[in-house]
Amino acid sequence: MRGLCLVMLMFCSTGFAWGQSDAGYYTSEAQSIAADGQVYVSIKKYNPTPEEIKKADARVKDNEMNYLHLPVFATNVSFFDKSFECGLYCFGTDGKLKWGKTIGFSANSVSPPLAAREGFIYSGAGMKSEDKIVITKLNPEGKISWQQELDSLDEVNDVAVHQGKVNVLASFKRNVKKEHDNGTYSIDSYPIYFFIQLDPATGRVLSKQYQRMGNYLSSIGYGNPFISTDQSYYLRKADSAIFLNTANQEGGIVVSQDMPAGNKIQVLTAGPSSYHYITEFSPRGEKPVYKLFTDFYGEKKKYETVLPAAWSDEPFNRIYLVRHSSDSVFSFITTGIKVTVSVTDKEGKTAVIQQNNNPRGLVIGAGLNGSQPFIIRLAGRVKRSEPGVFSPLFF
């Protein structure tokens, strides 16, 4: 742990002269989207008690540990209670914060989902003291247009607006007792998904569908859901990605079936007629590389390409993949303190458009403002007791 702290001291120690959020104990996972000249960021934060802050830099027993004792770059952290506050923030293209709003609470650190359509923003989160979720629609000034509560669910996993519907994947956790040969047991947990559709004008629930095939896949380790249309979504794990249609609960399509052995999927994005994913590929006896796999299945066109970013195994590496309206895809790869942004066109040709050796913070998100790439960076959190701030950096 001491070595990790030294690395973060070098990486995150910086002044806060640029536009930024209020200070807080933010996670290192964020989603971001640009719309109508503004950048929206969804992120979670931990709200420690004064006593927890006081003890954060001291040695504690295992049963006294809390989120502050984890490395700042830790991801996919879970608690038994809803200890994370879910926030939605709006920045101008000058990087200055315009507003922030709490939209719910969560038991895990993964950023709340985020979607934008026709001048409105959509997100969702759990509710603090109930087994409920709430889907929220806001206008660009942060005023809530409507909120829709849904019972017997814990997490909002993804939100997307397609075909005049707000499409939501939400879930509750199923805990399964697993007994071992030595007489001990453990608890395996996995999400049970529902595909929900809402009226974007009113928030009225149009449908709520149990995902039988998706939930079977969830029970064997598939996750990271991504909604691609009003009838479909993807689930993935390191060695496989599967396309699921809500009208077919009997099976799915393995879209990674042609992926050679040695690839591990890092991130996936998709649209109505294409999907794209980045892998870490480890050829035998050689240094790993990052590869982009793309399939425009509507046009029967597919390719794979090695991305122009040096591989690194640092714990604070981040990889993001963002679709552009021109059918090109932007790849953001952060290795160490270097950010490489590249664009791959529809023919599979890749070019580096930006390299930044000093993002002045830990990269926790990325996006596009039109064709202009940007990252979300988190600064501070050098000491366990020290809060941090985040903001966009435009290239």
Break the chain into its structural domains and give their ranges. 24-210, 212-358
Confidence class of residue 5 from pLDDT cuts 50, 70 and 90? very low
Question: Residue 290 pLDDT more than 80?
Answer: yes
Q: Judge whether 311 and 290 are in contact, CB under 8 Å.
A: yes
pLDDT value at 6 more than 70: no
pLDDT tens for 137-195 read: 999 999 999 999 999 999 999 999 999 999 999 999 999 988 888 888 888 899 999 99
Q: How does residue 356 score in pLDDT terms, banded at 50, 70 and 90?
A: confident
- Once rounded to an integer, what is the mean pLDDT over residues 10-20? 44
Q: Are 151 and 132 in contact (CB under 8 A)?
A: yes
* pLDDT above 90: percentage of residues in the chain: 80
pLDDT tier, 1 (very low <50, low <70, confident <90, very high otherwise): very low
What distance in Å separates the CA atoms of residue 109 and residue 68, rounded to the nearest whole number? 13
Residue 395 DSSP class:
-
Indicate if the alpha-carbon torsion angle 392, 77, 357, 17 is positive or negative: positive
Query: How far lies 216's CA from each of 176, 226, 242, 251, 305, in Å?
Result: 13, 17, 12, 10, 32
300 pLDDT tier (thresholds 50, 70, 90): confident
Does position 196 have pLDDT exceeding 90, yes or no? Answer: yes
Q: In whole angstroms, give the CA distance from residue 279 to residue 292.
A: 6
| 222 Cβ neighbours under 8 A, 6+ residues apart | 214, 235, 236, 237, 240, 242
pLDDT in tens, 230-272: 999 999 999 999 999 999 999 999 999 999 999 999 999 999 9
Asked whether the predicted pLDDT for residue 18 surpasses 70, the reply is: no
pLDDT confidence bin for 343, thresholds 50/70/90: very high
Compute the CA torsion angle 96, 102, 107, 111 (nearest 10 deg).
-30
Closest by CA position to 19, among listed 44, 41, 4, 46? 41
The residue whose two tokens read 């929206």 is: 40
Select from 1.10.150.110, 2.40.10.480, 3.40.640.10, 1.10.640.10 the CATH code of 24-210.
Answer: 2.40.10.480
- May I ask the CATH architecture of the domain 212-358? 6 Propeller (2.120)
Q: Read out DSSP for 104-127?
A: EEESB-SPPPEEEETTEEEEEEE-
